[in-house]
Amino acid sequence: MNTEKLISDFLDMMAAERGAAQRTLESYDRDLRQFFDLLPLDSLSAYTPEKIAEAVRALNRKYAPRSVARKISAYREFFKFLFSEKLIDKNPTAYIDTPKQSKPLPKFLTEDEIRRLIDAAHARREPHRVRTAVMLELAYACGLRVSELVSLSENSINQERREILVRGKGSKERVVPISERAVRAVKEYEDFVRDSFIKAGRRSIWLFPSLRSASGHITRDMFFVSLKQLAVEAGIAPERVSPHVLRHSFATHLINRNADLRSVQKMLGHEDISTTEIYTHILPEKLIETVKKLHPLAKKPE
């Protein structure tokens, strides 16, 4: 049994038909190789539900529920592929239970902390700092994932309509409104700074090009490091600041200001609204305000 070829064919399908991102493909590849190391059998038919359940029990003893759930998801997709290709008669992962896991509440910054970050970013006018400032404003103004942010194309922003075209997970596109302030910041960056990150005589399709990155645009890690440095300058603990925290802050602040949950879902690019609903559980100040305003017993006696 050539497991290398099976995994390779599966990854090719995920890339071509599902539009899976490179990091997703790398994760599938890693999890499936580990699976076959953990459960080396002679033929595909030997992978019964009982055998796979045995492997999952071994994973449960070694990894956190979140990691095990991700690995099981990879197994399900892989064996579903084998079944569709008629390489197996039954999908042995169809009834494998995923470990229950508590959903951690998203971490976010206060509106004041976001303002301090932005002020710190604009305090210096070096090209790298200007680029970081614009990326920070876009990440917070539009709730972008870091992968979406760094790979924005040069023409992704319609400045007249104040909209940004985002290519999200699975290459799905969505249009997100962008603030006038963020539009101005992007225009200033494009007019005076962007060309300093492009080799002379060359062109770039990326909004945030890089002279050193193999991809041609700034990397996730580079932006991550820049944010940490910015947090220190803004007087915020760097461990509290990350690109995803900016995305969480975007959603939290909108909902705290009574934004419609469906609208936030669309802007974040969530397929399932239950993913967006987690933001409704992290607003104690809003809840306290609502109770004080509306609950009969909270009113002062006349």
Residues carrying an active site annotation:
145, 169, 244, 247, 270, 279
What single string gives the DSSP state of each residue in the chain?
--HHHHHHHHHHHHHHHS---HHHHHHHHHHHHHHHHHS--SSGGG--HHHHHHHHHHHHHHS-HHHHHHHHHHHHHHHHHHHHTTSSSS-TTTTPPPPP-PPPPPP---HHHHHHHHHHHHT---HHHHHHHHHHHHHHHHT--HHHHHT-BTT-EETTTTEEEEE-GGG-EEEEE--HHHHHHHHHHHHHTGGGGS-TT---SBSSB-SS-TTSB--HHHHHHHHHHHHHHTTS-GGG--HHHHHHHHHHHHHHTT--HHHHHHHHT-SSHHHHGGGGGS-HHHHHHHHHHH-GGGSPP-
